[in-house]
Amino acid sequence: MSDFLSGKRIGPGPIQPETTITELIDSMFEAYNAARLREACHLFAGKMLADDVTVGVSLTGALTPAGLGMSCLVPLIERGFIDWIVSTGANLYHDAHFGLGLSMHRGNPQVSDVLLRREGVVRIYDIFFDYEVLLSTDRFFREVIRAPEFQKRMSSAEFHHQIGRYLAQREQIGKRAGKSLLAAAAQYKVPVYTPSPGDSSIGMNIAAEALEGNQLFLDVSRDVNETAAIVLAAKRRGGKSAVFILGGGSPKNFLLQTEPHIQEVLGIEGRGHDYYLQVTDARPDSGGLSGATPEEAVTWGKVEADGLPDAVVCYMDSTVALPLITAYSLANHPPRQTKNLYERLPEMMEDLKGEFELDKKGSQERRH
């Protein structure tokens, strides 16, 4: 018989009322993107969550407004399954609504937007919320960033850590613990970055305060170096680096460019990320980064060629895939010890600088 027929024979049993999430995914997700989702669950729970693997997650698309922050990302953070995050600013802005106790509602996307505007209702497809939610969240950010600890140049990780601490306080006052992604990230020392600080309502509020003399400045160069330092530290300590990409866009590239920054720009010897998992609805043939495959990423040094067998792309909506991957991983992997990367950033940055200076000196000596 051909070796190509060595795969498990397809023949799932009937789904029963007592069927578990593990049985459903392992036994009933047999083909097409269901099979890719099964492979994603196995990769995440079976390899990416090993103790020596540092897991970076990127967030694109309106995930937190749909409740995926509190339902999926917070539980993953609490169990040590996420070590660092790159997100759009919009996801972090909308995350704050829940920490502040502001409400989002299910809605009908067929309703007239002219009527919604007249009623003071804003929508994100089928998520509806009062316009006052935006104004209240804007007031929170404007008030907080006037505090003394924000009057300086800082990385977006430091900024989000401080914001998360304030949101955690609001959660405690309102007895809403576990609602905010940023609050959980601050508690578990998970650094959170945004590659385009000005491209969100958070950035707009920072810009407005700057007009009144606020000294807050988000240092994107520090973000680039800190994220590279995180990946370099994972490898230098004998571990591996994994990327879990939800959507695409700028956060995807910011997560992946850590390796080209290490190898190509800083000249430090390195290899690409070891594990690659992406959920996307973008096609590869349009040339956009969102749909770019892990094979293409190998040519840039973003992904290690030997890691391609451990690369999975699911072509589906993140709002479908993430809850299933979360439920599967919680059911099949014990909690990991948190890596507390936020507290270790100064140490990792010193290591990055040390290697950069050493390689730079060696390169100069070779030229002479």
C-alpha dist (Å) from residue 254 to 56, 160, 172, 187, 260: 11, 17, 33, 24, 11
Q: Where are the domains of the chain?
A: 31-360+363-367
**Surface-to-core class of residue 6, CB atoms within 10 Å of its CB (0-12 exposed, 13-18 middle, 19+ buried):** exposed
Of 302, 339, 360, 361, the active-site residue reads 302
* Confidence check: pLDDT of 368 > 80: no
CATH, domain range 31-360+363-367: 3.40.910.10
Residue 249's pLDDT band (cuts 50, 70, 90): very high
Residue 267 CA to residue 150 CA, distance in Å, equals 34
Question: Which element (helix H / strand E) includes 9?
Answer: none
Return the number of other C-beta atoms located less than 10 Å from residue 364's C-beta.
9
Question: Which element (helix H / strand E) includes 332?
Answer: helix 318-332
Of the candidates 146, 144, 141, 136, the residue with the CA atom closest to the CA atom of residue 212? 146
Of the candidates 265, 260, 261, the residue with the CA atom closest to the CA atom of residue 299? 260
**Exposure b/e, 102-124, CB count within 10 A at least 16 = b:** bebeebeeeeeeeeeeeeebbbb
Average pLDDT, stretch 269-287? Answer: 90
Higher pLDDT, 141 or 290: 141
Question: Which element (helix H / strand E) includes 309?
Answer: none
Question: Each residue of 49-66: pLDDT tens digit?
Answer: 999 999 999 999 999 999
Percent above pLDDT 70 for the chain: 98
**pLDDT at residue 367 in the model:** 55
* Confidence check: pLDDT of 309 > 90: no
> Cβ(57)–Cβ(82) under 8 Å?
yes
Upper half-sphere CA count for residue 75 (Cβ side, 13 Å): 17
**pLDDT at residue 101 in the model:** 95
Higher pLDDT, 3 or 76: 76
* Confidence check: pLDDT of 304 > 90: no
**pLDDT at residue 359 in the model:** 73
**pLDDT at residue 182 in the model:** 98
Between the CA atoms of 94, 100, 101 and 102, what dihedral angle is there, to the nearest 10 degrees?
Answer: -50
Strand partners, 275: 242
SS3 141: helix
Q: Is 8 a catalytic residue?
A: no
The per-residue pLDDT of the chain, averaged, comes to 94
Residue 325 CA to residue 329 CA, distance in Å, equals 6
Strand partners, 278: 245, 313
pTM of the model: 0.94
> Cβ(288)–Cβ(282) under 8 Å?
yes
